[in-house]
Structure 1
């Protein structure tokens, strides 16, 4: 369900050279156009799926993983990218809530 590109694996190995390996949490972060997956070092909690991939441990909320349909992790321009197999829906402009990401208040 989680795949890592060769470039992403090399970057993760380099990152963990200077510190002990820890679980990597994938979580949903809001964005201006659509939500995206982000990374943080974190321990698994109740309700998480814990997945070992190529000597790395990832944790992600089980429901989120289902919605993603799997995740491909890669690196582009020194930035990790986690792409869900099922893309997240795009947000319509000014959906009636204030998300705080675009700098304007769309709240009605």
Structure 2
């Protein structure tokens, strides 16, 4: 898929962060993260597992739910246990970083 430079960079950074996160987690765990940006409306989704050590991701720009703020949603699924899901409002730092990517000086 072909993404804008900004969305491509956000996807690559999310994949790198997930890879580092998985390296510190138990070997039988999979994770999925969604970064939902409010303005402009974009979802960055990444998922992966420590075994066999793969990550994948995608950017969504259509049919994205608008929460009215930037949201981070994480789901973790240890083998043979119920998945855990949590979400947080993204700090203003993430909003300003994305804004700088969208509107460089």
Whether these two folds match at TM > 0.5 is no
Higher relative contact order (CA 8 A, sep 6+): 1
The TM-score normalised by the length of structure 1 is 0.27
> Structure 1 or 2: larger helix share?
2
The TM-score normalised by the length of structure 2 is 0.27
Structure index of larger Rg: 1
